[in-house]
Amino acid sequence: MPLFFYSKDGTNTRSASGQPGFEYWQNKADYKLSAKLNESDNEITGTSSITYTNNSPDSMSFLWMYLDQNLFKEDSRGNAVIPITGSRNGAQGEIFDGGHKIKSVKIVTSVKGISTEKEAKYLINDTRMQVFLPQELKSRGGVVTIKIDFSFISPKEGSDRMGILGTKNGKIFSIAQWYPRMCVYDDIAGWNTNPYQGASEFYMEYGDFDVSITVPANHFVVCSGELINVSEVYTVDQQKRFSQAKQSDKTVVIRSKEEVLTAVNATTKTHKTWHFKMKNSRDVAWASSASFILDGARINLPSGKKSLAISAYPVESEGNEAWGRSTEFTKALIENYSKRWFEYPYPTAINSASIVSGMEYPGIVFSSYKDKGKDLWDTANHEFGHIWFPMIVGSNERLFAWMDEGFNTFINSLSSDDFNNGEYKDKPVDMHVIGLKYTNPDLETVMSSPDNMKEANIGDLCYRKPSVGLVILREQVLGAERFDLAFRTYIDRWAFKHPAPDDFFRTVENVAGEDLSWFWRGWFVNNWRLDQGINSVKYVDDNPKLGTLITIENFEKMVMPVVLDIKTKSGKISRLKLPVEIWQRNKDWTFKHNSTEEIESVVLDPDHVFPDYNESNNAWKSVK
């Protein structure tokens, strides 16, 4: 079925070629955020001022927002679907007064420089809030500003995405999903309001952020974006080291272990405020602690621009075998991904030690404070890879986790090959073993959302199976040159935009010049299996000198190209490659091999590069 893979034609907003259409639009959300941390109560109190621009062709009488902290309310949908055996999601058994407390929602208007605030009607349902506008927001450029006062108690373990880690020198707060955030309004579904249940991640609009975070005076804060008030929050010596780190390719300590232990930076003030700005981002997250050791190094970008790698970790995580190499890893990863795919757009890249095992946000990631060596590399590699998917390429994680987790897992394998002469290079995988596992009939499809998968299957279906699919596509179907050009084109086309699966499929096909409907259909859309086998080996007219007729068969629904090693009695081995087109009209295929002597053996997929789950029919040997 090579035609009609796509369910719809191209539109004015999404071209049939896979690029944004000539009338593509997306809305914009700019945030001015302030937060205050109460360390003793684990409470964050804040104000969110959102300036929302409606670039759509539709007028709006209401807006939808996410209140992600409501996942941790006792009566949330996310809590309701946690099995009695437990889950990574939710508050992991903690009983506390979770959820966003919305104190007020106001519409802010400004006339001749004078601002007025008017209470707005709103309705909260689980992790969503609907805000009703006093007058319709005009299409194609209408702007409204909404001010929300809120607070919440941070969970200690929040769905392994945020939380609080106790250390001997103070708590580490890793704060995310912390402010009311705009839902995306797009040309595919209108308002995207799927509830947050923990497993599926996020889908957000882009905008500019101005963030002020007030914390106890002995705390140090790392946050998405650029620190604006360095002189107000760092000591004079720390300011000098901070500046040195910006100019150094080697890691420079900004706040040392000794400073943590002796608290020489303590002030008489009870609190201090850290000020950050972030441009063209979909989110911001932050971490705060009195226990942070801080170090940094310069990141060199392909255009000549610079960024700054920063690591924040407690004394428990120090050492060159552990977090002492975090900044080295961060710098190498950002430089590698920038060179291979798309230049890193943010002023800093922060790796913050956390109770979280690994989670990504624009410009900052949370990694386990326990990680060392290869574990730390793998976590940093994966979480910083997410800067490209979905922070730069803003796909809908809530529905299509494979478009960020899978793509990211794929690029992780290439960066591991590149780093430090392959120091952490992974061993090649046996695709036959992978095929047996990843095409198990009991699995859901890759195209399923994480909320519709058994939790135990998410790692395979969202991360590893789509990654393996891209490896096959790159190494066995298109070749590295054609694939890499198509993949880079996809990133470039959809940077800071909202692609859907068809936009990816169409881009790869158009740039590579190949109909790949058979590939998408078998590996992503359906959970089909691959079983290629050898049926028979015969000589033409029973004479080995006249050549050999080899018959192979495709026993399942998935198709792939064919690779065979043919060994003659003299020991000569010939490798034969057949295109996937042999299966267009056939379940079995007979071809002539121009040999002039007896055949000793034929092996199908000798290097195990295709996900053939049944090896029993992959080899033929002559019978004496």
CB atoms within 10 A of CB 49: 16
Indicate if the pLDDT at residue 265 is higher than 70: no
| 602, HSE (Cβ side, Cα atoms, 13 Å) | 26
Question: In the beta sheet, which residues pair with residue 300?
Answer: 306
Encoded tokens for 331: 């710098």
CB atoms within 10 A of CB 422: 10
- CA separation, residue 584 to residues 535, 554, 588, 589 (Å): 19, 11, 10, 10
pLDDT value, residue 618 = 97
Indicate if the pLDDT at residue 64 is higher than 90: yes
Helix, coil or strand: residue 437: helix
CB atoms within 10 A of CB 259: 20
Tens-digit pLDDT profile for residues 308-330: 999 999 999 999 999 999 999 99
Encoded tokens for 208: 């500019």
| 448, HSE (Cβ side, Cα atoms, 13 Å) | 19
Concatenated DSSP letters of 115-150: EEEEE--EEEETTEEEEEEEEEEPTTTEEEEEEEEE
Indicate if the pLDDT at residue 1 is higher than 70: no
Q: Do domains 25-205 and 532-621 have the same CATH topology?
A: yes
Domain locations in the chain? 1-21+395-527, 25-205, 235-268+294-394, 532-621
For the domain spanning 25-205, the CATH number is 2.60.40
Q: Are 91 and 157 in contact (CB under 8 A)?
A: yes
**Residue-averaged pLDDT of the chain:** 96
For the domain spanning 235-268+294-394, the CATH number is 3.30.2010.30
Q: Which residue has the higher pLDDT, 331 or 428?
A: 331
- How far apart are the C-alpha atoms of 566 and 325, rounded to whole Å? 48
Pairing label, strands 28-38, 207-216: parallel
Global confidence as pTM: 0.95
Instruction: For residue 99, name the pLDDT band (cuts at 50, 70, 90).
Output: very high
Q: What is the CATH T-level fold of the domain 532-621, as seen in this structure?
A: Immunoglobulin-like (2.60.40)
Mean pLDDT of 496-525: 97
Indicate if the pLDDT at residue 119 is higher than 70: yes
Instruction: For residue 428, name the pLDDT band (cuts at 50, 70, 90).
Output: confident
Residue with the two structure tokens 């939808």: 64
Pairing label, strands 573-578, 157-158: unpaired
Question: In the beta sheet, which residues pair with residue 410?
Answer: none
Element (H, E) at 483: helix 480-494
% of the chain with per-residue pLDDT over 70 = 98
Residue with the two structure tokens 């590399």: 377
Cβ neighbours of residue 486 closer than 8 Å, sequence gap 6 or more: 478, 507, 508, 511, 512
- How far apart are the C-alpha atoms of 439 and 429, rounded to whole Å? 15
pLDDT value, residue 370 = 98
Encoded tokens for 418: 């590149």
Number of helices (H), then strands (E), belonging to the chain: the values are: 13, 32
The most distant pair of C-alpha atoms in the chain lies apart, rounded to whole Å, by 98
Indicate if the pLDDT at residue 222 is higher than 90: yes
Nearest-5° angle of CA 352, CA 355, CA 360?
Answer: 50
pLDDT value, residue 115 = 87
- How far apart are the C-alpha atoms of 197 and 72, rounded to whole Å? 10
Residue with the two structure tokens 């970008």: 301
Exposed/middle/buried for 38, CB within 10 Å: 0-12, 13-18, 19+? middle
pLDDT value, residue 10 = 94
Q: In what order do the strands lie in the sheet with 562-568?
A: 573-578, 562-568, 599-604, 619-621
Encoded tokens for 576: 């034969």
Query: Phi and psi at residue 320, in whole multiples of 5°?
Result: -70, -20
Tens-digit pLDDT profile for residues 122-179: 999 999 999 999 999 999 999 999 999 999 999 999 999 999 999 999 999 999 999 9
Query: Phi and psi at residue 342, in whole multiples of 5°?
Result: -165, 140
Q: Which CATH architecture has domain 1-21+395-527?
A: Orthogonal Bundle (1.10)
Is the four-CA dihedral 584, 586, 588, 594 of positive or negative sign?
negative
Instruction: For residue 268, name the pLDDT band (cuts at 50, 70, 90).
Output: low
Is the four-CA dihedral 97, 161, 91, 451 of positive or negative sign?
positive
Tens-digit pLDDT profile for residues 70-81: 999 999 999 999
Mean pLDDT of 447-463: 95
CB atoms within 10 A of CB 28: 16
Indicate if the pLDDT at residue 2 is higher than 70: no
Instruction: For residue 623, name the pLDDT band (cuts at 50, 70, 90).
Output: confident
Find, among 332, 353, 357, 354, the residue nearest to 344 by Cα: 332
- How far apart are the C-alpha atoms of 478 and 293, rounded to whole Å? 46
Indicate if the pLDDT at residue 267 is higher than 60: no
Mean pLDDT of 424-444: 93
Find, among 517, 536, 530, 592, the residue nearest to 561 by Cα: 530
pLDDT value, residue 266 = 56
Instruction: For residue 3, name the pLDDT band (cuts at 50, 70, 90).
Output: low
Find, among 383, 434, 441, 440, the residue nearest to 412 by Cα: 383
Element (H, E) at 406: helix 405-418
Query: Phi and psi at residue 606, in whole multiples of 5°?
Result: -65, -30
Tens-digit pLDDT profile for residues 565-613: 999 999 999 999 999 999 999 999 999 999 999 999 999 999 999 999 9
Mean pLDDT of 360-387: 97
Q: Are 298 and 245 in contact (CB under 8 A)?
A: yes
pLDDT value, residue 5 = 86
